[in-house]
Amino acid sequence: MRVSNTTIGLGLIIFAIAVLFYTRTFPTLEKGYPGPSLFPNVLAVLFIISGITLVVQGVRSGERILRFDTSGITGSGLINILLALGSIVFYIYLSEFLGFQITSFILLFGLMKWLRVSTPWSLVTACGVTLAIYVLFAKILLVALPWGLWGW
Amino acid sequence: MMAEHVYTAISLIAQPYVLFVIAMSAVYGLFVGAIPGLTATMATALLVPITFYMDPVPALAAIVTMTAMAIFAGDIPAALVRIPGTPSSAALVADSYALTQKGRAGFVLGVNVTVAAIGGLIGAIILILLAPMLAEVAMKFTCFEYFWLACIGLSCAVLVTRGSLIKGLVSLLIGLFMTTVGVDITLGFPRFTFGITSFLTGFNFIPAMIGMFGVSEVMRNVSSGELSFSGISAKTEKMFAGIGTVLRRYKLNICRAGVVGTFVGVVPGAGADIAAWIAYAVSKKFSKEPDKFGTGHIEGVVDAGTAHNAGLGGTWVPALVFGIPGDSITAIVIGVLFMKGLRPGPMIFQQTPEILYAIYATFILANLVLIPFGILAIKAGSQMLRVPRNMLMPAILMFCIVGSFAINNTTFDVGIMLGTGILAYFMEANDIPVAPAVLGLVLGRLLEDSFMVSMIKSDWDLTVFFQRPVSAILGVVSIILWSSPLIAALRARWKRQQR
Contact (CB, 8 A) for A148 and A97: yes
C-alpha angle A142/A145/A149, rounded to 5°? 135
B227 at interface of A, judged by CB pairs closer than 8 A: yes
Which of B223, B405, B460 has its CB closest to that of A77?
B223
CB nearest A95 (choices: B411, B418, B448): B411
Residue of B nearest to A53 (CA): B166
Decide: B72 and B267 in contact? Cβ < 8 Å: no
Question: What pLDDT score was predicted for residue A8?
Answer: 93
Alpha-carbon span B92 to B96, nearest angstrom: 6
Mutate to test the interface with A, among B50, B177, B426 (most CBs of A within 10 A): B177
Highest mean pLDDT among A58-72, B35-49, B119-133: B119-133
Mean pLDDT to the nearest integer, B197-202: 86
Q: What is the pLDDT of residue B227?
A: 57
Chain B CB contacts of A125 under 8 Å are 391, 395
pLDDT at B351: 84
User: How large is the average pLDDT for residues B443-464?
Assistant: 86
Instruction: Using a CB–CB cutoff of 8 Å, tell me whether B177 touches chain A.
Output: yes
**pLDDT, chain A, mean:** 89
Q: Percent of chain B beyond pLDDT 70?
A: 97
Q: Which residue has the higher pLDDT, B235 or B16?
A: B16
Q: Greater confidence, B348 or B181?
A: B181
User: Is A95 near chain B, with CB under 8 Å?
Assistant: yes
Please answer yes or no on whether B406 and A40 come within 8 Å at the CB atom.
no
What pLDDT is attached to residue B225? 62
Q: Give the integer Cα–Cα distance in Å for B84 and B109.
A: 13
Name the more confident of A72 and B124.
Answer: B124
B219–A contact, CB cutoff 8 A: yes
- Whether the pLDDT of residue A152 is over 60: the answer is no
Quick check: A67 pLDDT over 80? no
Of B199, B310, B214, the C-alpha closest to B254 is B310
- Asked if the model's pLDDT at residue B233 lies above 70, the reply is no
**Is B418 at the interface with chain A, CB within 8 A?**
yes
Crossing angle for the helix pair B353-379 and B56-73, to the nearest 10 degrees: 30
pLDDT at B197: 87
What are the residue ranges of helices labelled H in B139-202? 143-159, 165-178
Chain A interface includes B394 (CB < 8 A): yes
Over residues B337-361, the mean pLDDT reads 85
Q: How confident is the model at residue B229 (pLDDT cuts 50, 70, 90)?
A: low
User: pLDDT category, B497, cuts 50, 70, 90?
Assistant: confident
Window from A17-31, B154-168, B230-244 with minimum mean pLDDT: B230-244
CA-nearest residue to A86 within chain B is B418
User: H-helix or E-strand containing A22?
Assistant: helix A5-22
Asked if B407 has any chain A CB less than 8 Å from its own CB, the reply is no
How confident is the model over B279-298, as a mean pLDDT? 90
Give B359 to chain A, closest Cα distance, Å: 23
**Interface contact flag, A77 B224, Cβ < 8 Å:** yes
Which pLDDT belongs to residue B230?
A: 58
Residues B215, B397: contact at Cβ < 8 Å? Answer: yes
Contact B398 A104 (CB under 8 A): yes
Q: Is residue B13 pLDDT above 70, yes or no?
A: yes
Chain B partners within 8 Å of A89 (Cβ):
418
Under the banding of pLDDT at 50, 70 and 90, the label for residue A47 is very high
On whether any CB of chain A is under 8 Å from the CB of B191, the answer is yes
Q: What is the pLDDT of residue B258?
A: 95
Residue range B87-91: average pLDDT? 87
- Cβ-contact B262, B123 below 8 angstroms: yes
- Of residues A81, A111, A142, nearest to B223 (C-beta): A81
Dmax (CA) of chain B: 71
Global confidence as pTM: 0.86
Angstrom distance (rounded) from CA A72 to CA A121: 30
Determine the distance in angstroms separating the CA of A60 from the nearest CA of chain B, rounded to an integer: 15
- What's the confidence (pLDDT) of residue B143? 84
Chain B interface includes A41 (CB < 8 A): no
pLDDT > 70 in chain A, percent: 93
Mutant choice from A13, A24, A26, A39 vs B, greatest count of B C-beta within 10 A: A39
Preferred mutation among A3, A88, A121 to probe B, highest tally of B CBs within 10 A: A88
Q: How close does chain A come to B341, measured CA to CA in Å?
A: 19
| Ramachandran sector of residue B60 (left: φ over 0; alpha: ψ -120 to 50; beta: rest) | alpha
Contact assignment for A108 to B398 by CB distance below 8 Å: yes
How do residues B146-181 score in pLDDT, each as one tens digit?
A: 889 889 988 888 887 777 889 999 999 999 999 999
Predicted confidence (pLDDT) per residue in B385-413, tens digit: 777 888 889 999 999 999 999 888 889 99
The stretch B31-49 carries a mean pLDDT of 86
pLDDT, residue B312, reads 93
Number of helices (H), then strands (E), belonging to chain B: the values are: 23, 2
Q: CB–CB of B393 and A85 under 8 A?
A: no
Sort out which chain A residues have CB atoms less than 8 A from B191's CB and list them: 26, 36, 40
Confidence grade of residue B488 (pLDDT, cut at 50, 70, 90): confident
B192: chain A residues, CB-CB within 8 Å:
22, 40
Residue A56 sits at the chain B interface (C-beta within 8 Å):
no
Three-state SS sequence of A45-63: HHHHHHHHHHHHHHHHCCC
The chain-wide mean pLDDT, for chain B, equals: 88
Is the complex ipTM higher than 0.85?
Answer: yes
pLDDT score for B232: 60
A77 touches chain B (CB under 8 A): yes
Interface of B with A in 116-175 (CB under 8 A): 166-167, 169-170, 173
Shortest Cα distance from B411 to chain A (angstroms)?
6
Residue B91 neighbours by CB distance under 10 Å = 28
Q: Which among A120-134, B23-37, B94-108, B151-165 has the top mean pLDDT?
A: A120-134
Percent of chain B with pLDDT over 90: 40
Chain B residues touching residue A85 (CB < 8 angstroms): 219, 418, 421-422
pLDDT of B423 strictly over 70: yes
Give the pLDDT band (50/70/90) at residue B115.
very high
Q: Span B213-238, mean pLDDT?
A: 75
- Partner residue facing A50 (CB), from B49, B173, B406: B173
